[in-house]
């Protein structure tokens, strides 16, 4: 007998329904997701770590009756029926109810590791560093075949094409992944050819992402000399590398967006700053131009300023003329005696000062050097105009100038003959000549 595919799958489904009927299964949730329709899709695996897994579906009607929010790593008990999903020929468990019975083995280990590393200070906010504002080169640690690498490269090409990209390839899933990821991080730090590292991977179940909970990798992330942005899984996925990194991104695409500023946004900001600077320069130029115009106007039109001042004085004169005549007369009468006394005192002072001035003039004339020169004396001065008041200031060959009342002559010192100090002869003091 030859079966058709649909007939075979239908027969197998009927056989399972007849053989098993309603079943109750206990295991750990993995890859849980809720579709827009409200139906929930996930896998159930053995909590003891055995390599066994069954795909499950919980339709919207049953999902609405849940009293908790299912999540990966939770240990649950399902009641439902076995069926074949004919579109893919897969065995699936159609769950009618779900009850939480405890945390799964991997989730419990995740919590233990998290507590241990948190106590060691690997997650402290104080040790997290700010990202470089404008990185010149970015390093990406991920698998060459990962969809996350394509998403990151596409985002960077669109957002920051000026940034150089260096990929440090490593498997991101499986038993060899943690050691390979550690080696990639260490290579990037040793080569120091980038400013920032992106540790990325696409979404998956808790066991798919388990390499990013490895203690060796978490310690390597915390010890990295280069800042690290971790974008592993979907927004709801949390790994220990996320907690140890300098910045956690909800997705690989978000990690690329957080790591490199948008070139278009930077250019727009630069253009806005340039426009503000140009406007400020233009405003300053306008203010200075107006100031210069006002100064030029005042310099080029002095007659206008004089006319304004004349008008102001005319107005004051007009106001003075309109003052009451009686006040002028009273003021004049009150000031007349004082004015006469003042005039008399001024006349006396002027006369006395005139006499003093005449006496000072006579004294000044008596000391006038020209009068002395007219009596036959001469004034001797150096070439720079300074008076030579002593023969000790001369030296042979020196050029001097002799000044008389009616002229001057240039001379040269041939020799110097000192004169003895003055001595008294009767009432006359005469010099002693050698």
Looking at the fold, whether 212 and 278 belong to one and the same domain comes out as no
- The residue that leads in pLDDT, 370 or 218, is 218
Looking at the fold, whether 155 and 91 belong to one and the same domain comes out as no
Q: State the pairing for strand pair 90-103/53-58.
A: parallel
Per-residue pLDDT at 294:
78
- For residue 315, CA distances in Å to 148, 228, 302, 311, 318 come to 89, 83, 20, 6, 5
- For residue 297, CA distances in Å to 286, 288, 304, 311, 426 come to 16, 14, 10, 19, 82
Q: Is residue 307 a part of any domain in this protein?
A: no
Q: Residues with Cβ < 8 Å from 2, sequence gap 6 or more?
A: none
Looking at the fold, whether 61 and 199 belong to one and the same domain comes out as no
Per-residue pLDDT at 240:
94
Task: Answer with the one of 233, 261, 289 that is the final residue of a domain.
Answer: 261
Matching residue, tokens 């050097």:
369
Count of alpha carbons within 13 angstroms of residue 237, beta-carbon side? 28
Looking at the fold, whether 52 and 143 belong to one and the same domain comes out as no
Answer yes or no: is pLDDT of 433 > 50.
Answer: no
Out of 14-23, 187-196, 353-362, pick the least confident: 14-23
Per-residue pLDDT at 334:
78
The rounded mean pLDDT for the chain is: 84
CATH of the domain at 155: 3.40.50.10550
Answer yes or no: is pLDDT of 418 > 50.
Answer: yes
Looking at the fold, whether 282 and 162 belong to one and the same domain comes out as no
Answer yes or no: is pLDDT of 213 > 90.
Answer: yes
Q: Is residue 325 a part of any domain in this protein?
A: no
Distance CA 241, CA 326 (A): 104
| Number of structural domains found in the chain | 4
Looking at residue 88, the DSSP 8-state letter turns out to be T
CATH of the domain at 82: 2.40.50.140
Answer yes or no: is pLDDT of 50 > 50.
Answer: yes
- The residue that leads in pLDDT, 298 or 248, is 248
Looking at the fold, whether 116 and 235 belong to one and the same domain comes out as yes
Q: Is residue 432 a part of any domain in this protein?
A: no
Average pLDDT over residues 21-37: 89
Does the pTM exceed 0.75? no
Looking at the fold, whether 246 and 115 belong to one and the same domain comes out as yes
Per-residue pLDDT at 325:
65
Answer yes or no: is pLDDT of 200 > 90.
Answer: yes
Per-residue pLDDT at 427:
47
Q: Is residue 346 a part of any domain in this protein?
A: no
Per-residue pLDDT at 41:
94
Distance CA 321, CA 318 (A): 5
Residue 414, domain extent? 377-382+392-422
Answer yes or no: is pLDDT of 205 > 50.
Answer: yes
Over residues 274-298, the pLDDT tens digits come to 888 888 888 888 888 888 877 777 6
Over residues 118-151, the pLDDT tens digits come to 999 999 999 899 999 889 999 999 999 888 899 9
- The residue that leads in pLDDT, 403 or 104, is 403
- The residue that leads in pLDDT, 248 or 73, is 248
For the CA atoms of 54, 55, 61, 65, the dihedral, rounded to the nearest 10 degrees, stands at: 50
Task: Answer with the one of 211, 241, 261 that is the final residue of a domain.
Answer: 261
Q: Is residue 275 a part of any domain in this protein?
A: yes
For residue 434, what pLDDT band results from cuts at 50, 70 and 90?
A: very low
Per-residue pLDDT at 36:
92
Answer yes or no: is pLDDT of 197 > 90.
Answer: yes
Closest listed residue to residue 138, CA positions, set 228, 14, 45: 228
Count of alpha carbons within 13 angstroms of residue 324, beta-carbon side? 4
Q: Is residue 343 a part of any domain in this protein?
A: no
For residue 429, what pLDDT band results from cuts at 50, 70 and 90?
A: low
Answer yes or no: is pLDDT of 355 > 80.
Answer: yes
Contact 63, 52 (CB under 8 A): no
Q: For 301-324, where are the alpha helices, taking DSSP H only?
A: 302-321
For residue 310, what pLDDT band results from cuts at 50, 70 and 90?
A: confident
Looking at the fold, whether 81 and 37 belong to one and the same domain comes out as yes
Task: Answer with the one of 194, 229, 261 that is the final residue of a domain.
Answer: 261
Looking at the fold, whether 150 and 174 belong to one and the same domain comes out as yes
Per-residue pLDDT at 319:
77
Q: Is residue 327 a part of any domain in this protein?
A: no
Determine what percent of the chain is predicted with pLDDT higher than 70.
91
Looking at the fold, whether 244 and 151 belong to one and the same domain comes out as yes
Looking at the fold, whether 75 and 143 belong to one and the same domain comes out as no
Looking at the fold, whether 189 and 141 belong to one and the same domain comes out as yes
Out of 34-48, 274-288, 306-320, pick the least confident: 306-320
Over residues 74-103, the pLDDT tens digits come to 889 999 988 887 777 788 889 999 988 765
Answer yes or no: is pLDDT of 368 > 90.
Answer: no
Q: Is residue 370 a part of any domain in this protein?
A: no
Per-residue pLDDT at 361:
80
Per-residue pLDDT at 47:
67
Distance CA 423, CA 58 (A): 143
């Amino acid at each position: 007998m030859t079966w058709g595919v649909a007939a075979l799958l239908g027969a197998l489904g009927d056989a399972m329904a007849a053989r098993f009927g309603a079943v109750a299964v206990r295991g750990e949730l993995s890859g849980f997701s809720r579709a827009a329709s409200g139906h929930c899709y996930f896998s159930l695996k053995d909590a003891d770590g055995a390599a066994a897994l069954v795909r499950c579906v919980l339709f919207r009607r049953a999902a609405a009756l849940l009293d908790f929010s299912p999540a990966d790593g939770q240990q649950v008990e399902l009641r439902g029926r076995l069926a074949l999903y004919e579109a893919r020929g897969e065995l699936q468990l159609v769950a009618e109810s779900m009850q939480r019975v405890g945390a799964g083995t991997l989730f419990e280990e995740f919590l233990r590791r998290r507590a241990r590393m948190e106590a060691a200070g690997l997650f402290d906010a104080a040790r997290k560093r700010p990202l470089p504002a404008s990185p010149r080169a970015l390093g990406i640690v991920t698998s060459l075949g990962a969809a996350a690498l394509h998403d990151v490269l596409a985002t960077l090409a669109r957002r920051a094409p000026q940034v150089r990209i260096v990929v440090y390839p490593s498997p991101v899933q499986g038993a060899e992944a943690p050691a390979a990821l550690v080696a990639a991080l260490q290579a990037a730090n040793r080569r120091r050819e980038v400013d920032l590292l992106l540790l990325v991977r696409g979404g998956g179940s808790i066991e798919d992402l388990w390499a990013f909970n490895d203690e060796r990798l978490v310690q390597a992330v915390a010890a990295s000399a280069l800042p690290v942005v971790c974008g592993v899984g979907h927004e709801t996925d949390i790994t220990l590398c996320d907690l140890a990194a300098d910045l956690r991104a909800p997705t690989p695409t978000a990690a690329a967006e957080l790591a490199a500023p948008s070139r278009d946004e930077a250019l727009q900001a630069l253009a806005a700053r340039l426009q503000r600077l140009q406007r400020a320069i233009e405003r300053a130029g306008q203010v200075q131009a107006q100031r210069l115009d006002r100064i030029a106007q005042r310099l080029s039109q002095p007659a206008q300023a004089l006319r304004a001042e004349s008008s102001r004085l005319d107005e004051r004169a007009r106001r003075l003329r309109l003052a009451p005549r009686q006040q002028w007369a009273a003021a004049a009468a009150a000031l007349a005696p004082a004015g006469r006394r003042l005039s008399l005192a001024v006349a006396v002072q002027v006369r006395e000062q005139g006499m003093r001035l005449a006496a000072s003039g006579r004294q000044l004339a008596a000391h006038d050097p020209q009068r002395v020169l007219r009596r036959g004396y001469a004034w001797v001065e150096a070439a720079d105009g300074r008076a030579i008041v002593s023969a000790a200031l001369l030296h042979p060959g020196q050029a001097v100038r002799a000044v008389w009342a009616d002229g001057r002559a240039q001379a040269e010192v041939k020799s110097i003959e000192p004169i003895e100090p003055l001595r008294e002869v009767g009432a006359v003091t005469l010099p002693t000549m050698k």
